[in-house]
Chain A
Amino acid sequence: MKKDYSILKKSDVPAFFASLANEMQLIGPKQLFSGDVTFDVIQSHKDIYWDYGHVVYPPKRFLLPHFEDMFRYTCDQEIKIEPTCNPQPQAIVGIRSCDVAAIRFQENFFSYPIVDPYYKEHLNNTVLFNLVCNTPPKKECFCICCDSGPWLESGFDVQLTDLGDRFLYEVGSDKGEKATEPRAYMLLPATPADIEARRQIELQADSRFQTVSYVAKAINFISADEVPAKIWEDLGSTCFRCGACTNLCPVCTCFTVDDREESDGTFTRCRSWDSCQYAGFTREASGHNPRPTFGSRVARRFYHKTSYQYIIRDGRHGCVGCGRCITACLTKLGLPDVVKRIRREMHEFLPPKEKAAEV
C-alpha cells in the first residue's frame, strides 16, 4: 500500500466521526468512574476520550468476546440450530498500535490452518483507527522492544497521529480506504511541516520508555530449551493462578466452550476466554496432565510468547509490549520481569568454566 499522509483537522473530527457513525457502530475510549477508562460504544464524538492513556481491558474483545454466545440449539425430536452471533459493522477509534498488532496476530491464528468463522465475521466487520502514542501512555509500556508501536509501519487500517490541532491521517489497508473514501473531502494534504512533526515523534520515541525487555535473549534461551525446570518452578511458586495475564493479553487466543441450559429448555453454546495457566486447561481425559505443575504452566505461557517455533509459524513473537501482564499480575510474572529473571538466573546457573568459555 502506498504511504499517503493526509490531515484531519480537529475541528473536522466531529463531522468526520458523525458521518462514519451513519455507516457503522463507533467504539472508542470512554471515561467511567474515578479515572477508569474502557472501550465502549460511542454515541457522540464528544464521548471519545482521546487522552485516555491505556486501558486494562483489551479491545480484542470486540473480535473475540470475553463471553460469547455462538448458537442456540434444541434437541427434542430433531436437532435445530439457530445462530446467535451476528456481528454488525464497527469502527474501533483510538485503539493503540500494540492492540492493533495483537489483532493482526490473532487474525493470522484464527485463519490458518482452520478458519474460525466467528472471529472472521467479527474481523470482516471491523475497521481499526489506531492512535499513535506520542509518549508511552504507561510506565509499563514496552512496545518499542516488540516492534508493535508506538506507531505502526504496516498492518493498520487507518493510523492517526495527534499533532496538536490536527491528526496526521494515514490509510494502511483496503478496509481503511473504504472507510475513508466517503469522507475524503474532509481531509487535507499533509504539509512537510506535518511530516516533520511526526518524524520528531519517531526520533524521540526510544528515549521515552521506562520499561525495556530483552526479549531476544529469552527467545534464544527458550527456543533452545535451555531454561532449567528449576527456574520455571521458582517462577510458578509465586503465581496466583488468577489467569489475568492470559485474559488481558491482547495476543492470547485461548477459549473454552460451554453448553448452557436455558430456562426454556433450549441450550446455548457459548465460548469464553480460557487460560493455559489452569491445570484443567491441559488435563487429558485419562487424568494425565502434560503440564502438571505451576512452573510447567508458566513455562508454557512463555514458550508460546517467545519460542522460535511460534515466530516461524505466526510471523512474529507473541508479545506486543502492552504491559498489561505487568499491571494485572498479583505477583511479578509480567513478561519483562520473567525475561529479566531468566537472563540473570541463566548466568548464575552456568558453571564458571562455561562462563569463561563464553567470554
Chain B
Amino acid sequence: MSYVLTTCGFCSCGCAMYVQQENGKVTGLFPSENHPVSNGRLCIKGWNATPAILGADRLRKPLVRRGEHLEATSWDDAINYAASALKKIIFESGPKSIGIIGSAKTTNEECYSLVKFARSVIGTPNIDGACRFYDASLIPALLETTGTPGSQVELSAIPKAGSILIVGSNVMEQLAHVGSRIEDAADNGCKVVAIDPRETRLAPHTSLWLHPKPGSDLAWIRAFLKIIIAERLYTKNAPEMPGFEELRASLEGIEISQLKYSCWLEPAEVHKAVELIASNPPTIVMFGLGALQQPHSTEIVKGLANIAILLGGSVMTLRGQNNAQGACDVGLTNDLLPGYLKLADPVARKVWELVWNCQLPAEPGMTAVEMLKACESGTLKALLIFGENVALSAPNTQATLSALDKVGFLAVSDLYLTETAKIADVVFPACSFLEKDGTFTNIERRLQRVRKVLEPIGESKSDLEIIAMLGAAFGAKMSADPEKVMTEISSSAPIYKGQSFRQLDEEWGQPWVPVGSEAKLAPIEAVTKDSEGEYPFYLIASRINFHQQTGTMTAKSSVLAREYPETFAEMNEADAERLGIRPGSSIRIISETNSLTRVLSVSESVPKGCVHVPHFFGGNSPNALASYETDPVSGVPIYKAYAVKIEAVR
C-alpha cells in the first residue's frame, strides 16, 4: 500500500489529493488537508476521479486503420505509419498543410513539447490548443487590459472580498472550490452580484441577480462602465490611467433606458448592481464560459476587466479545464510563444528560435476552428489531435465530423476510443494523469506537481513519450523526461522562472508572478446584433456537476453516469404551455446548422424566451447546434446565446 500526492485532473481549481495504490490498483483517494485549494475537501468529480479515468475500455494498444477497421498494432508500427504519412504530406504539400491541436488537460510539459514539435520539427505554424474551443478569448483581452492573462488573485482572496461580480458561470457545479469560497464571502457580508440569464445554485448566496438577454453582455457591460465613469464611482487614480479618455469616448451615446429592450434589464436594477460593487471594495470580477463563448467575447472580457480596473479590484477567470492556464502559459496557441510573448515580436522570436533551433514565422497559424474549416476545404492534409474529443467539443458536429473524415490523415492520442478517435487513421493510447509525472497550472496560476501513481494501463504512454517518439522518427531529439522539459521551459519563459520539480517536491507550488504588467483601460465599442426571426428562442448551454466537458471520462464512472439517466432540456413553464408541450415529452431543438432531441422539463430558473440545454456525454451535446461563426478577435466559437426553435417530437 502506498499513497501518492498528485493534482486532480478535472476542473481548473487544482485540488491536491492522495491516491492510495495496492498491487497496481487504486484502493482509495482523499484530499490533502493542508493544501491551499483542497483544504480537506473534494468535489464529486474529485471523489470519483479514479473510476472515471480507469474505465475498462481504456485503449491498451496503438491502432492503425487498415481499410474500414482500426487494428491493434505495435508502437513502432504506429509511429512509423504516422511519420511516413506526415513525411509524404510535407514532401507533397509542405509543412503548413499539417495542423496540430493540443489539449488543456495534459501537463505543461506535454503542451510545451507539442508546441516545440509543431514549430521546430514539423515546421508548421498551425498549432493551437483546445482552449480555443472554450476560453481563449480571455488571453488577448487580458493582455491588453490587466496585463495578466489569468486570475489576478488567489482563491484565498475570495472570502475577504467586499463584493463579487460573477458573470456567466455555473460555479457551484463546475468549480466547487470557488463556489464554496464565494459562499464564505457572502457569509462574511460580501455583496455577490450574479449576472446570468439562468438562475443557478449560486442564488442563495447572492445579493442581486440580473437576468440579461442571452448574448447581450456587451451592452450591459458598457452601461456599467458608463455609470461608473459618469457617477465617478471609480478609484481616485482611475482618470490618470492609460486609456481612460479613450474608454470614456467609446461609451458616448449609451442610453441606459434602452437596456430594457437590448438586455431585458431594468435601468434601476443596473444602477443598483453598479452601486453594490462600487461601494463595497475590494471587488473581484469573475467570469466563466457564459461570457467567454458569446459573440464578441474578447470585447466582453475587456469590458469586465475595465470594470475591475476602474474599481481598483481584480479579475478572476473561471476556466473549465484543469490545465487551461498552463496550456496557454507554455504557448499552446496559434499566435503566442511560451510566456505570452507575441509571435509578431522579433526579439521574442529570436529567443525561441535559439532554444528550438528553427526559424519562426511572424504570422500566426490557423486557430483550431480554422483548421477544421481547412480540413474540409482541403488546405490541411493532416491533423494531429492530442487529448481532445474534437468531434464533440468543436461546434457544428455534423460539419466537424465531415471535416475530420475528409482530412487526408488524422492521428489522435487519447485515453479512450472517443468519437474523434473512431474516425482516425492512427490512434495512440495515451495514459492518464494517474500514470505520469508532470505539472498542471491551476486557476490561480499555481504550478503544481502531477505524480505517477500507477504504471500505464496496457501499452499506453504519456503524450510526452509519444511526442518524443514522433520527434525521433523525424530525426529530432526531444526529451521524454518531464523534469528536463520543465527545466527547459523555466529557463526560457520568464513567467516560469525558477520553477522546478525539486522545489515542488519541498512545498506547494506558488502562483507565477506576472512580468512587468501595467493595467490599461481599453475602449469598448458598441456592436449591433441581428434579431431572431424564424428562431425565437435563445439557447443557454451549461454544464452539470456530474460531468466534465464532453464526458469522455466522467461517463465511465458508474456513480457519475447514473445521476442523470435521461438527457433533458429546461424551459419556462409559460413557454412550454404556449408551445403546447408537456414536461416529460420529447422536444427537438433546431438551430440553423443542426438539431438535437431532449426530454423537456420545466423550470422557473430559466427565463422566458430561452431554452436551457446542459451538456451530457456520448454525442448529445449542445455544441452540435452551433456554427463555425467565431469571435472575430480570438476565434473562439459562439456556443452561447444562439437562436433556436423548438418543436414537439410527435
Q: Which residues of A contact B (CB under 8 A)?
A: 32-36, 38, 40-41, 56-57, 61, 65-69, 237-238, 240-244, 247-248, 256, 258, 260-263, 272, 274, 278-280, 283, 287, 327-332
Q: Are A40 and B1 in contact (CB under 8 A)?
A: yes
Given the complex, which residues of B lie within 8 Å of A248, measured CB to CB? 30
Q: Is the CB of A240 within 8 A of B44?
A: yes
Contacts of B545 in A (CB 8 A): 240-241
Given A66-B20, A247-B47, decide whether A240 and B33 contact each other with a Cβ distance below 8 A: no
Q: Are B507 and A242 in contact (CB under 8 A)?
A: no
Q: What are the residues of chain A within 8 A of B507 when measuring CB–CB?
A: 34
Across the two chains, which residue of chain A brings its CB closest to B563? Answer: A280
- 1/0 per residue B186-229: CB within 8 Å of A? 01000000000000010111000000000000000000000000
Measured in the bound complex, the distance between the Cα atoms of B367 and A308 in whole Å is: 63
> Are the C-beta atoms of B40 and A328 separated by less than 8 Å?
yes
Interface centre among A244, A256, A283, A287 (most CB of B within 10 A): A244
Are B34 and A34 neighbours in the complex by a CB distance under 8 Å? yes
Q: Are A33 and B5 in contact (CB under 8 A)?
A: yes
Interface of A is mostly: loop
Determine how close the nearest CB of chain A comes to the CB of B550; give it in whole angstroms. 20
- Check if B606 is an interface residue, CB within 8 A of chain A: no
Q: Please give, as numbers and ranges, the residues of chain A lying within 8 Å of B396 by CB-CB distance.
A: none
The answer to whether A279 and B563 touch across the interface, beta carbons within 8 angstroms, is: yes
B559 near A329: Cβ-Cβ < 8 Å: no
**A258 and B558 in contact (CB under 8 A), knowing A32-B3, A331-B183?**
yes
Other 19 A-B pairs with CB < 8 A, given A243-B47, A274-B559: A32-B18, A33-B5, A34-B507, A34-B508, A36-B33, A36-B34, A65-B28, A66-B20, A67-B25, A238-B204, A240-B43, A240-B44, A241-B44, A247-B47, A280-B563, A283-B565, A329-B41, A330-B41, A330-B177
Q: B27: CB under 8 A from chain A? A: yes
Q: Are A327 and B3 in contact (CB under 8 A)?
A: no
> Once the chains bind, are A256 and B558 in contact (CB under 8 Å)?
yes
Residues of B within 8 A of A263 (CB): 60, 458
Report the minimum CB–CB distance from A325 to chain B (whole Å): 11
Chain B residue nearest to A327 (CB atoms) is: B40
> Which of A35, A41, A279, A330 has the most chain B CB within a 10 Å cutoff?
A330
**B243 in contact (CB, < 8 A):** no
B559 engages A244 (CB within 8 Å)? no
CA of A243 to CA of B47, assembled, Å: 8
User: Judging by beta carbons under 8 Å apart, are B20 and A328 in contact?
Assistant: no
B308: Cβ under 8 A from any A Cβ: no
Rounded to whole angstroms, the CA-CA distance of A261 and B201 in the bound complex is: 37
CB distance from A32 to the nearest CB of B (A): 6
Interface size class of B (residues with CB under 8 A): 35 or more
Which of A65, A66, A240 has the largest number of chain B CB atoms within 10 A? A240
Main secondary structure of the interface of B (DSSP, over half): mixed
**Which among A38, A69, A237, A287 has the greatest number of chain B C-beta atoms within 10 A?**
A38
- Cβ contacts under 8 Å, B565 to chain A: 280, 283, 287
Bound Cα distance A235, B180 (Å): 15
Q: Chain A residues with Cβ under 8 A from B559's Cβ?
A: 256, 272, 274, 278, 280
Residues on B with beta carbons closer than 8 Å to the beta carbon of A36: 5, 18, 32-35
Q: A33-B5, A69-B25, A278-B559 are in contact. Are A328 and B41 (CB under 8 A)?
A: yes
Closest-CB distance, A196 to chain B (whole angstroms): 36
Determine the chain A residues whose CB is within 8 A of the CB of B147 once the complex forms.
none
A242-B27 CB under 8 A given contacts A32-B5, A40-B3: no
Interface string of B11-52 (1 = CB under 8 A from A): 000000010100001111111111100001111101100110
Q: Counting CB contacts under 8 A, is B179 at the interface?
A: yes
User: Residue on A with the closest CB to B26?
Assistant: A67
Give complex CA distance A38, B33 in Å.
Answer: 10
B358 → chain A, closest Cβ, in Å? 40
Q: How far is the CB of A297 from chain B (nearest CB, A)?
A: 12
A237 near B28 (CB under 8 angstroms)? Answer: no
A345 CB to closest chain B CB, in angstroms? 14
Does B268 sit at the interface, judged by CB under 8 A?
Answer: no
Measured in the bound complex, the distance between the Cα atoms of B180 and A242 in whole Å is: 12
In the complex the two chains form, what is the Cα distance from A65 to B564 in whole Å? 27
Flag whether B78 is at the interface (Cβ < 8 A).
no
Q: Do A68 and B27 form a contact, CB below 8 Å, given A36-B33, A279-B563, A328-B40?
A: yes
In the complex, what residues of B have CB within 8 A of residue A279's CB? 563-564
Closest approach, in angstroms, between the C-beta of B429 and any C-beta of chain A? 12
State whether B56 touches A262 (Cβ < 8 A): yes
Contact among B30, B43, B57, B563 with A330 in the assembled complex (CB-CB below 8 Å): B43
- Interface residues as binary, B542-555 with A (CB distance below 8 Å gives 1, 0 otherwise): 00010000000000
In chain B, positions 144-180 with a C-beta closer than 8 Å to chain A are 172, 176-177, 179-180
* Interface contact B27-A244, CB-CB below 8 Å: no
B187 surroundings in chain A (CB, below 8 A): 332
Least Cβ–Cβ distance between A67 and chain B, in angstroms? 5
7 nearest A-B pairs in the assembled complex, by CB-CB distance: A280-B562, A57-B30, A66-B28, A330-B180, A261-B56, A35-B34, A242-B44
Q: B507: nearest residue on chain A (CB-CB)?
A: A34
Flag if A38 contacts B183 (CB, 8 Å): no
Residue in A33, A61, A256, A262 whose CB lies within 8 Å of B28: A61
Q: Which of B31, B42, B51 contacts A272 (CB 8 A)?
A: B51
CB-CB nearest in chain B for A34: B34
Known: A69-B25, A256-B558, A330-B176. A38 touches B44 (CB 8 A): no
Do the beta carbons of A240 and B32 come within 8 Å of each other?
no
24 contacts between A and B (CB under 8 A): A32-B3, A32-B5, A36-B35, A40-B1, A40-B3, A41-B1, A57-B28, A66-B20, A67-B26, A237-B204, A238-B204, A238-B205, A240-B44, A241-B545, A242-B46, A242-B47, A242-B176, A248-B30, A256-B559, A272-B51, A327-B41, A328-B31, A330-B179, A330-B180
Closest CB in chain B relative to A211 CB, distance in Å: 16
Q: Which residues of A contact B41 (CB under 8 A)?
A: 242, 244, 327-330
